[in-house]
Amino acid sequence: MLVTRRAGGEERALLAHNRRFAVAHMFSTLAGFVDPEETLEETVAREVAGGR
């Protein structure tokens, strides 16, 4: 799952930052899955909030 949106004519991706990363400017993508009964919007909300 890669969450993107258009902002100001640019496509932007949602990235995560963990304080435990060794390098201050290191980011990663969020990993997740879509449950059969979920919409994509519900999946994003669950995964970003910390999920199951």
Q: CA dist 29 to 15, 20, 26, 33, Å?
A: 5, 15, 11, 13
* Partners of 4 in the β-ladder: 13
CA dist., res. 41 & res. 5, Å (int): 13
Q: Are 27 and 17 in contact (CB under 8 A)?
A: yes
Report the domain count for the chain: 1
Q: Please answer whether residues 16 and 1 qualify as being in contact, where contact means their C-beta atoms are separated by less than 8 angstroms.
A: no
The better pLDDT of the pair 37, 2 is held by: 37
Give pLDDT tens digits for 28-52: 887 778 899 999 889 888 887 775 5
Domain that holds residue 14: 4-49
Query: For residue 1, is pLDDT > 70?
Result: no
> Quick check: pTM over 0.75?
no
